[in-house]
Structure formats: C-alpha cells, structure tokens
Amino acid sequence: MSLRGSDLSCSYGSTPVLHEVSVQLEQGELVGILGPNGSGKSTLLKVLAGVLTPASGKVLLEERSLSEYRRRDLACRLAYVPQQVELPFPFRCNELVMMGRYARMLGPGLQEGAHQEAVRQAMRATGVEALADRRFSELSGGEAQRVRIAQALAQEGQVMLLDEPTSHLDVAYQLDLMRLLSSLAAQGQALAVSLHDLNLAALFCHRLVLLKAGRVVACGAPAEVLTVDRLEQAFAVRLEVQAGPPVRVFAGSQSRLGDRRVRND
C-alpha cells in the first residue's frame, strides 16, 4: 500500500498554495510534514486525502488515481483526520467511532452487529474504550484526539493522514499521541502527519518533508532535513541543531527572526 503525490499544484483563487510538490508514503512509515504557518501543510494533506482536487498533478493510491475511486471505496483505504471538528450535536464517542464504518454500511445501517467489533477494536487500540458512552464535547483535548483517531482506525484502511493532531495538547498528551501514531506505523499503517514541533518530529518520524511557501525545501530522514541552513531557509530563523539521533533543535541565544514574509491563507 503506497500513496504517492506527484507534481501537485494547488491554489485558492489566484493565490498559489502548493507548487509542484511530490511526496511518497509507504507502508509502516510515519512521515512528518513540517513548515511555517501558511507553507501549505494542511493543503497538501487535503489534496493527498482527496478532499481537495489539485489544479495539476496526481495522487495515486495503489497506482490508481484518487479520482477513480468512489468516495466509499476511498474511505475504506484511506483515513483523514482534519485539524479540528466542531460537533453541533451531542454525539457519544462510540457513535462517533461508528461513523468510521459509514463506508462499509448500507442504507440506514440498522445491522450494526458486524461493525461493533471493529469499533471496539479501534477504541481499544487508542485506549478510549472507557469513554464509549461519554459525550464527545465533554472530552479533554487529548481524549478527543484519541477518539478521532479511533474513528479513522475504524475505517480499517492502511493510510492515515492527520492534520496537526498535537496542536492544543499539553506536552504529555503530545508525547502520548505520537507514541500511539508510531505504534500504528509499526503495525503496518502508512501515516502522514503535519506538525509544528520539530523535536517531536525528529523523535518519532521516519521521514520528514519540509515545506516553504508551497514548495518542498527538503525531504528525507530527520538528520538530513533538520539542518541549520534548511531550517533557516524554511523558517527564516537561525536555530541551533544538535546532531542525534535523535536530532534536537532549539532556539539559542543567537536565534533571531530574519526577513520573513507571512502568508495569509
């Protein structure tokens, strides 16, 4: 199972957001997507998930273009967890995870029996079994992220794309979540995750893609990507890097913000 995006370009109106980006995602791999705000991380994930159609370029899942899949078939192979979800209605966690089974259910899906086991398994895998009957809106940030990952797992695909799953989480929850993701990778999932925390990325990801203004600055193992020059190129700030493994990045006394144009999107 592999997901490959080649020469992806995308724009909102006349503003280009992605420019000929190519990425590849293999089974058992946890890929981190890094870059400053507005560099196109979220857009890249949406394009890879098939939520957004690229202006040019192609996304291939198992050598077939995403546009050739029916939505349901795609959902059985690939899951996407958006940055945040707002629930206007008080769904319970098990109901929410059950929605991950939508693509495999028919009509109103009254025969749930076959799916309950998958839901239980997904919740066990993410450690949220105890929350089954709690309302999603009552959960803490970390719990909510786990439930949403359980929903994605319930889709039983082999590819999972997550948009900034660690934002708004405290450091303990961030570590906890990254451990969960890398254990999913160990079980054979192909995961791509956009991150802000460079150290977290260095610690857990097998490969990194560094974006700036919709273009790939660097791509490869953490030690190749997280260099002082490349980080400065992407973030316009000179950071200190300590060779690993794992590589460690920190802001030293010499760090200062260079000429940096902030993009709006």
Partner 1 sequence: MIARLGGLMLLGLLGLAACLAVAVSLGSISINLLELDDVTRAILLDIRLPRALLGACVGACLASAGVAFQALLRNPLADPYVVGASSGAALGAALAFLLGLTSVLPLAAFAGAVGAMLFIVRLARIGGALPVDTFLLAGVVVGSFLWSLVSFMLTLARQDMARIVFWLMGSLADARWSQLPLILPYLVIGLGGLYYGALSLNLLTLGEEAAIPLGLPAERAKLWVLLGATLLTAAAVSVSGLIGFLGLIVPHLCRGLVGPDHRLLLPAAALGGAMFLVLCDTLARSLRPGLELPVGVITALLGAPFFFWLLYSRRRLT
13 scored as a contact of partner 1 (CB under 8 A): no
Polymer length of the chain: 265
144 scored as a contact of partner 1 (CB under 8 A): no
Residue 42 tokens, joined: 């979220």
Nearer to partner 1 among residue 50 and residue 165 (C-beta): 50
3-state secondary structure of 84: coil
- Count CA atoms within 13 Å of residue 18 on its CB side: 27
Nearest to 129 by CA among 162, 154, 109: 154
Q: Which residue has the tokens 């929850």?
A: 173
Say if CB 222 and CB 202 are below 8 A apart. yes
Nearer to partner 1 among residue 68 and residue 112 (C-beta): 112
92 scored as a contact of partner 1 (CB under 8 A): yes
- Count CA atoms within 13 Å of residue 61 on its CB side: 21
72 scored as a contact of partner 1 (CB under 8 A): yes
88 scored as a contact of partner 1 (CB under 8 A): yes
Region near partner 1 per CB under 8 A, out of 86-94, 169-177, 205-213, 217-225: 86-94
Nearer to partner 1 among residue 39 and residue 155 (C-beta): 155
Nearer to partner 1 among residue 72 and residue 179 (C-beta): 72
Q: Do the bridges between strand 15-26 and strand 56-61 make them parallel or antiparallel, or are there none, so unpaired?
A: unpaired
151 scored as a contact of partner 1 (CB under 8 A): yes
Burial 18-46 (b: 16+ CB within 10 A, else e): bbebebbbeeebbbbbbbbebbbbbbbbb
What residues between 38 and 67 interact with partner 1 by CB under 8 A? 46, 49-51
Nearer to partner 1 among residue 64 and residue 71 (C-beta): 71
Binding site for partner 1 (CB under 8 A): 46, 49-51, 71-72, 74-76, 78-80, 82, 85-92, 95, 99-100, 102-103, 105, 107-112, 151, 155
